[in-house]
Structures are given as C-alpha cells and as structure tokens.
Structure 1
Amino acid sequence: MKNDNLLAIARAFGSPVYVYDSSKIISQYNRLFNAFKKVKHVKLNYAVKALSNIAILKLINSLGAGLDTVSIQEVKLGLLAGVQPEDIIFTPNGVSLEEIEEVAAMGVQINIDNLSILEQFGTKYPNTPVCIRINPHVLAGGNSKISVGHIDSKFGISIHQIPHILRIVENTNMTINGIHMHTGSDILDIEVFLYASEILFDTAKHFTNLDFIDFGSGFKVPYKDGDIETNIEEFGEKLTKRFNEFCKEYGKELTLGFEPGKFLVSEAGYFLAKVNVVKQTTSTVFAGIDSGLNHLIRPMFYGSYHEIVNVSNPKGRERFYSIVGYICETDTFATNRRISEITEGDIIAFKNAGAYCFSMASNYNSRYRPAEVLWHEGKAYLIREREDFDDLTKNQVDVDLFSKIQESVS
C-alpha cells in the first residue's frame, strides 16, 4: 500500500489502527495454490488464529479456502462467516472431550492429537471420521515458542506411539480419514519440511482408507527488503513429485492439505500509530507512540522484527530511534532503528502486522483495542470498530461490598 493511503486511513479512522490489504492476501493464496497445481486435489485451510476478523474469513473463503481452527469459538466464527462445516478442520490441543463432541456435532472435521481423547472419542463415535495429528519429532521453527514438532512438544501423538494408535483404532473400529502434522512456524529450510513429510508418508501407510494428508504450514515470510523466505515454488515442485508418487503407491488419489496463516496475511497487514512524544536522553532518542504491547506484543514476546516506516515523512533524513509504547512496562518495539526523521504527531507504520498481531491484542493497562480496516480495490472498509469504555466494563459485575461490610458490622 502507498503511504498516502495509509495516512488517509489514519486520518479517517484514527490511531492506532490495523490495516489489511486484500490484494496481498489474494496473491499469496494464488501463489501457494499454484505451487501445487500438478496435484489433483489440494485444500488450503486458513489458520484462523493468525487473524480472525469475520471479513477476512469471508475473503479467504471466497478464494476457495477452508479454515483451520483450534477452538470452538473459531469454529463458530467460521460458520458465522458462511464457511461450510465440511470446509473446517478442528485441531485443538488440551481441550475437553465435551468441546470436541460439540464441534463434531456441527459437522466439522475433527483432528485429535492425544491417545486418551482418541480412545474416548472413538469408543463413543466410531462412525465419525477423525484425523490424527502426529508429532514427527522434528525441531523446526524460527523461535522456541513456535516450534511445535519436537520430541518435548505438547502437540501431536508421537510417531513412536503408532502401535498404540493402531490398537485404539482396532479396538474401537473407528474411522481414520486423515493424517496431519505441524512442525512449527517460520520454517526456512524446505529440506527439513520434506524430511518431516517422509515421516508423515510412512505413518499414512498404516491406515488403509485415508482421504487426505495435511502437512500443516509454517512457511517463512520476509520481514524486510532482502530478507530470506521459504521458496514456495521449489518446495511445491519437490513435494508435488513425492506426493503424487505416494498416491500411486497408496492406490488412491488423496487430497494434499495445508494450513497457511502467517503466509497468507502477515505481509498484508500494517499497524499505524501516532507519535506522542520524541524524548532525547543522554544516549537514546525515544519515539513514544499511542500504542504498546497491548496492541502488538510480538516484538516483546517473540523478539520479532517488524519494519517501521514514518509514513508522514518517508523521505526525511534518517536518524536512529528507539520506538516505545505507552504501557507501564518496558514495551520496546525497536532499539536504535534507522527511520526517517520523526516529529511529534507523525504516523508510523509497522509492516508484517497481519498475522498474530491484532489476534494477540489485549486490554492491558485498561487500554482499548484498536480498530481494523480492510483496504479492498482502492477503498477502505471499517471491519472492526475501536473499543470504548463500555467495552471495558460490560462484563464486569458491580458488587456493593462496602454496604455489605457496613451491614455485617452493624
């Protein structure tokens, strides 16, 4: 998006505000889908946790994608957005059997990642098709918090427990229609992904009537000019060849599944904030903005890099700034970052703010969560209103404790 468009949105909707460019989401979807165009059946299920606004779910579903969900609330959001139940897969972790049962009753594809729930569910619902999430014991991902396929991960059923899975399937006579894995996020080395895929293929051979194999996602996207990213085209070529070979060995045309989240929406997002104060100390120039870790926690939580540009003065002389928030914590977005000269009142933009940004926002320090805007075909659409004071208090219950204490004393 152009700086002028971002500035106009900040003026029209205020700051801070999240902005999403629909054209980038569409191009990323087409890029991934086309990388596997030589596979007969491909299904992309968008990972709702990355960005769950209903307008975004409708947009992505209109492209042909289903949804990957991890909570019953995400399932309900998908249904509200008009996604058909059969186009939603439910891959929770550590939830109750009751939640899984409720989702299954909606007609959604169930994906189970532990032996206990697998046995309980299979005993009660042997005719309901179930996918199994495998832990391939492959350490992959750009950060320990988002590496989920290693041996000590809480996610998935260990490949060493396949005999236990087979025993449960035999005893319950349950239906297994899919095999799934997810090794982590920000995976750069496609050879690691291909290695894990071979483990998934070996696992799939144990099940005689699968409909699909789901390879998860975790593709690395660039965060700045010249940054490295997953070579989707090369990966598509190599996995397509191997997947088609496996289908011939298996004797059935299976569906190849992925669950892209960050890959689809990260680069489409911008987070706009106003500079409240420029503060010079003995060694540092701070630019304090009207936001904080309550709106964008990734730099503090993951150490994530977000390119920051001064859209009010994009061609100004560059200086070094530390960008900080207004929260009563050390909420530093960037340290000694080279940015075009900043003055109070300027609007700055954080790039790659589409994935795991608004969805991880909170009301910490009793601050309001920001508005969201969709930029589509040259026009800005408000897709979430900014919170106000009523939103902070609407679920709180005012108990007159002082009167009760006085009554008890008297």
Structure 2
Amino acid sequence: MKELEKISRPVYREQLIQLSNKYGTPLYIYDSYQIKKQYIKMKNAFSCIKNLIINYACKANTNLNILKFLQKLGSGLDTVSIQEVELGLKAGFHPKKIIFTPNCVSIKEIKKAVDFGVRINLDNLSILEQFGEDFSDYSVGIRINPHIMAGGNSKISVGHIDSKFGISHYQIPHMKRILNNTGLKIEGIHMHTGSDISDIKSFLEGANILFKIAMDFPDIDYIDFGSGFKVPYKKNDIKTDLISLSNFITEKFQSFCKDYGSKVSLIFEPGKFLVSESGYFLVNVNVIKHTTSTVFAGVDSGFNHFLRPMFYDAYHCIENISNPNGRLRFYTVVGYICESDTFGFNRKIAEIREGDILCIKNAGAYCFSMSSNYNSRYRPSEVMILNGKDFMIRKRETMQDLLRNIIEIQI
C-alpha cells in the first residue's frame, strides 16, 4: 500500500463531528483515501493480468469530483445512460475509456453514444439489428445473460433467466445471424450477474460461460466481467474473497488467451466496491420518542436521502458519534418522511439524546445517487476529504431548486 502514503489517512469521529458543525446535517462525506485504497486493492489482486482494465460503475455515485478522482487514478468508466456518458466526458475520461451499457433505451440514445465515440455494449437483439443496419462499421460489445441467479437479493440479481438484462446465451445463433446479415463486428463480450455477491462460485460459473462464448468470436478486444463484489456492512461481515477469485480468474483468463491466440483485455466494472466504504452520512437527532414497545430516534433525514434500507432491506451500521461511550441501548432509527421510513430496526447503539449526531456508514454507493425531493425535502450537501482537506462538492438544495423548472400558469 505504498501508493497510499501520498494521501491522508482515513477520517475519524472527531473530524466527522467538525464537518457536521461546519456544513450542517444531513450531510454526505466521502473519504478519497478509502476510494484509492479499494482501487489499489483491486489492481494488486489482478496484477498478474497485463491487460487489466478497471472501469468505475458510476451509477453508484456520479458526483463529478468522484469521477475526476477515479480518472486521475487511471480508472475507466462504466455508464448506463447517455447523461452518465456526458458526465464522464466532462470529468476528463477519453471516449474510448468509457463503456456505455444501457438497458431498454431507444436507438436514438445509442446513436448519441456513437456521436460521442464511446464503446458500447448492446443487450438485446432488436437494438442489435437496428444498430447493425445503421452503424455496421462501429464495433460493439454484447452483454450476455448467463442465466445465473446471483446477488444479495432478487432486486439486485440481474443475470437470471427472467432478467430484462442481456441476450440469453441460448440466443447466440440468432445473434450470429444478425451479425452476418448486417456485417456488424463484435469487439467484446460482457456479463454482469448481480450485486453483493459473496459466493465466488457465481463468478466462476459465469466465467466458464463467458470464455466459452468468446471463443466463437475471433476478433474481440475485451472480455468484461462486470462486477458485484460484496463489501462488508458490519463487523465480521462476509465479503467477496477477492484473492481466491483473482487466482481462479487469472488462471482461466491466461489459459483462454493462449487458446484464443491473441491479446485480449479483461475488464471489471466495480461501483460499490470502490466507493461504498468511503461514504459517511451524518444526521441530527430531532426527537427521541417512546411508545409501548419501541424507542424511536427520529432524525433530520429519510428515505428521500438514503433509500437503500427501505428499498433493498439493506443493513447499514449506525453509530452515535456524539456520545460514543454512552450506555448501549436499543433504538429504531427513523426518518422524517411521511411514510414507513426506517434506517435501522431495534439497533444496539450508544445512548442517543436529542441533538446527537448519528453516522450511517457505507454511504458512498447508491445513496445520494438514488435521492429525491419526496415530501418536497431538499437534497443534502456532499463533502469530499482530499489530501486531509474538506471540500464541499455539492451544495444543499434550497426552495429555489425545487421551483427551478416549475412553470406557473394562471389558475
């Protein structure tokens, strides 16, 4: 980890308290140290692969400054919308270091990606045929559906037989017919089976399918494994065994390249793996409310800012950083949205008082990027810790932001 010596060490409780006082709450904080640490960890794990490409899956967190930081580290970019493509270009990524892998978008959006000159993965036969008719000289990748059920839960499993993502590997003959009819060239084979995958058997099964399919296409430049690596959300939590996975993938990939007879790049597209643990979400306790069976800690945020617990039943560690040595008690931490709105149920937390600051961890991925203005609440500020200094990288919204695109008519 010598490459980490050039930047500051991780943030600590005292610094989080200072930042909550400086910027107010609710507040997202991202630690660049942790992002770089994860990036280097992945590079080192697959260091035996000379043509390794790491593309950050930017849907996890699209703040322009996060993109610029990863671009400086040498990362490429995985995008799923034309807007993410434009953000990537604005952040300084070369078009050929951006891969656009959309799902259920129109051919018009894909044509815009052609105009930008980025790499494109297509994932359905209809669009493949339309694209081949118009852009037969623009090589593309193909997203394969391997029919593998993987991921932390059904909402984040995207490679099973009933998934809307990818072209079934049983439809390869149909796909080849389209390629022959249009003259379209294939430059890569792509797969992504899900998120929060702890059992590497899912990766291994997918790898065998992908390498077998790739042998049928003589002129590919890359094989893209997507991602889905699980990160720990609590103490002693399970996570993807990156070393065991890299040992298997490296051996299989090197064997494939030898049989294939030419150099091919191996691509991974980590999102959560790179940025999840870098994020802290700070909230202020508005009220402690006792009912007949529960003690609620109500905070100045809700699922409008932090959707994952309600949407995915995701667990996020919650700590009372204002009173870390307080007596441990049980609380259900809830938000201020007029719906069921729970961050954590029946959690053992150091005694919480009104006015305390709570820290919700693993807030770097799929948190702010999934936020909304539900209940007409403002979205919060974002701060980045870079080289020991804090920088606001997104201002807190105001009423002006809520009204910005409203057009009033005479009623």
What TM-score do the two structures reach when normalised by structure 1? 0.97
The CA deviation at 1:238 is 1.1
Provide, for residues 266-311 of structure 1, a one-character-per-residue CA deviation record: whole Å limited to 9, x for no partner.
0110000000001111111110000001000100000000000001
Q: Which residue of 2 aligns with 1:397?
A: 407
User: For residues 42-53 of structure 1, what are the structure 2 equivalents within 5 Å?
Assistant: 42-53=52-63
Aligned residues with identical type, % of pairs: 60
Give 3-state SS (helix, strand or coil) of 1:267's partner.
Answer: helix
Give 3-state SS (helix, strand or coil) of 2:288's partner.
Answer: strand
Provide, for residues 209-259 of structure 1, a one-character-per-residue CA deviation record: whole Å limited to 9, x for no partner.
000000000001000110000011111111001100000000011100010
The CA deviation at 1:94 is 0.3
Matching residue within 298, 313, 322 for 2:323? 313
Matching residue within 24, 44, 48 for 1:38? 48
Distance in 2 between residues matched to 1:132 and 1:242, nearest whole Å: 20
Matched, 1:204 2:214: yes
User: For residues 138-177 of structure 1, what are the structure 2 equivalents within 5 Å?
Assistant: 138-177=148-187
Q: Which residue of 2 aligns with 1:134?
A: 144
Q: CA RMSD in A?
A: 0.6
Distance in 1 between residues matched to 2:154 and 2:386, nearest whole Å: 35
Distance in 1 between residues matched to 2:285 and 2:57, nearest whole Å: 33
Distance in 2 between residues matched to 1:72 and 1:175, nearest whole Å: 22
Provide, for residues 117-147 of structure 1, a one-character-per-residue CA deviation record: whole Å limited to 9, x for no partner.
0011011111101000000000000011100
Provide, for residues 134-169 of structure 1, a one-character-per-residue CA deviation record: whole Å limited to 9, x for no partner.
000000000111000000000000000000111111
Distance in 2 between residues matched to 1:104 and 1:28, nearest whole Å: 32
Provide, for residues 360-402 of structure 1, a one-character-per-residue CA deviation record: whole Å limited to 9, x for no partner.
000000000000000122211100000000000010010012x
Runs of 4 or more consecutive aligned structure 1 residues displaced over 3 Å after TM superposition: none
CA contact (8 A) 1:279 1:287 kept: yes
Provide, for residues 39-91 of structure 1, a one-character-per-residue CA deviation record: whole Å limited to 9, x for no partner.
11011110110000000000011111111000000001111111111110000
Give 3-state SS (helix, strand or coil) of 2:277's partner.
Answer: coil
The CA deviation at 1:316 is 1.0
Distance in 1 between residues matched to 2:141 and 2:76, nearest whole Å: 16
Q: Which residue of 2 aligns with 1:109?
A: 119
Distance in 1 between residues matched to 2:208 and 2:103, nearest whole Å: 24
Q: Which residue of 2 aligns with 1:260?
A: 270
Q: Which residue of 2 aligns with 1:271?
A: 281
Distance in 2 between residues matched to 1:206 and 1:384, nearest whole Å: 47
Distance in 1 between residues matched to 2:120 and 2:388, nearest whole Å: 39
Q: Counterpart amino acid of 1:321?
A: Y
CA contact (8 A) 1:369 1:386 kept: yes
Matching residue within 351, 354, 369 for 2:361? 351
Unmatched runs of 5 consecutive residues or more in structure 2: 1-10
Distance in 2 between residues matched to 1:228 and 1:380, nearest whole Å: 31
Q: Which residue of 2 aligns with 1:241?
A: 251
Matched, 1:88 2:103: no
Matched, 1:122 2:132: yes
Give 3-state SS (helix, strand or coil) of 1:105's partner.
Answer: helix
What TM-score do the two structures reach when normalised by structure 2? 0.97
Q: Which residue of 2 aligns with 1:218?
A: 228
Distance in 1 between residues matched to 2:23 and 2:126, nearest whole Å: 49
Q: Which residue of 2 aligns with 1:384?
A: 394
Q: Which residue of 2 aligns with 1:407?
A: none
Q: Which residue of 2 aligns with 1:406?
A: none
Q: Which residue of 2 aligns with 1:13?
A: 23
Q: Counterpart amino acid of 2:93?
A: V
Distance in 2 between residues matched to 1:259 and 1:95, nearest whole Å: 20
CA contact (8 A) 1:40 1:253 kept: no
Provide, for residues 163-196 of structure 1, a one-character-per-residue CA deviation record: whole Å limited to 9, x for no partner.
0111111111111000000000000111221111
Which 10-residue stretch deviates more, 385-394 or 187-196? 187-196
Q: Which residue of 1 aligns with 2:242?
A: 232
Unmatched runs of 5 consecutive residues or more in structure 1: 402-410
Matched residue pairs, number? 401
The CA deviation at 1:315 is 1.2
Distance in 2 between residues matched to 1:55 and 1:342, nearest whole Å: 34
Distance in 2 between residues matched to 1:18 and 1:152, nearest whole Å: 36
Q: Which residue of 1 aligns with 2:34?
A: 24
